[in-house]
Amino acid sequence: MSWQLTTLNAGLRLLAKPRLARTPGPEDAARDLDHHAPLFMRQPIHLLHLRRPGGLHWISAGRCTPRQVIFYLHGGGYVSGSPRTHQGVMARLSLLSGVEVCAPDYPLAQEAPFPAAFDAVSVAWERLRGLGYAPEQVVLAGDSAGGGLALSLLAQLCARDEAPAGALVFSPWTDLAMRGESLRRNAGADPFLPVERILELVEIVAGRGRRDDPRLSPLYADFPGCPPVRLCWGESEILCDDGRRMAARLRQAGARVEVETHPLAPHAWPVFDGWIPEARATLRRSARFVQEVLGDTSR
């Protein structure tokens, strides 16, 4: 573990985790992330961010291969974040892979109840298809809640025989039924996320919906004809078991699953690119995965 990661974990434990534990509500969480994202989510030079009609954001930081795209869904617990807060990690992934990122807006839970976020990304997928992108030219991606949302969309696309080239997710939140044992096992070890707020967050996000609805919790979805999937999670995260059980379910469905874990990296550590070398290393490996699946036309 690098000294930078040691320092980051100490700072998260001292400052970020207590702040998340006492944040009054989702509106405050959204304002906090909007304010702090430019400080801790560093951006590569020459970042290009274009917002086009239809709620689609196009993000890159260098030359990109035409007619290929990463369809990236931002994290933030469904109550915070946007393509702009997460543009740093998206741009770095684009730069390393040579593939442009398309990031849709989706409504936060306090703005519209479940399944509004899922419905919005489904519509965004149709808009991307309407621009002429075939499924095999697209990789789904996301972090945290966005990673779970990407996997829920993947399940829907697999069910209608419209699977993308692959999927890439960082620390995905896949089980809002909260059946993962790591919620208890890692409550003290996780340097970032306060487990005592998870039930409250689930109630805000799920509303009256079933917690194991596959549109909300992809751990309970089916994945017929699933393409390759890359999952990354930290072993000390409270959401560790969300990633571990998701990998097992995808393998059960017959998917080729690539897993990267880290014993001490915090939740969704690639968003800290530019601060810790572990983030850049994970993004490099993820970029190679993107290039590999987009180059594989044999499926």
Round to whole Å and give the CA distance between 170 and 7: 21
250-292: pLDDT as tens digits: 999 999 999 999 999 999 999 999 999 999 999 999 999 999 9
Active site residue 60: no
User: pLDDT band at residue 52, thresholds of 50, 70 and 90?
Assistant: confident
Q: How many CB atoms lie within 10 A of CB 270?
A: 23
Using alpha carbons, select from 125, 170, 121, 138 the residue that is nearest to residue 278.
170
Show me where the domains of the chain are located.
Answer: 3-21+29-295
Round to whole Å and give the CA distance between 250 and 221: 10
Total number of residues shown for the chain: 299
Round to whole Å and give the CA distance between 222 and 249: 9
Percent of the chain surpassing pLDDT 70: 99
Q: Would the pLDDT of 38 be above 70?
A: yes
Give me the pLDDT at residue 298, please. Answer: 35
Tell me which of 82, 94, 97, 144 is the catalytic residue.
144
Question: Which amino acid belongs to residue 222?
Answer: D
Instruction: Select the CATH number that applies to the domain covering 3-21+29-295 from these four: 3.40.640.10, 3.40.50.11890, 3.40.50.1110, 3.40.50.1820.
Output: 3.40.50.1820
Task: Tell me the average pLDDT across 162-187.
Answer: 98
Three-state SS at 79? coil
190-209: pLDDT as tens digits: 999 999 999 999 999 999 99
81-129: pLDDT as tens digits: 999 999 999 999 999 999 999 999 999 999 999 999 999 999 999 999 9
Three-state SS at 296? coil
Give me the pLDDT at residue 268, please. Answer: 98
In 12-115, alpha helices (H) = 17-22, 26-40, 87-97
The backbone torsions φ and ψ at residue 137, rounded to the nearest 5 degrees and listed phi first, read: -100, 5
Give me the pLDDT at residue 55, please. Answer: 81
Q: Would the pLDDT of 297 be above 60?
A: no
Give me the pLDDT at residue 299, please. Answer: 36
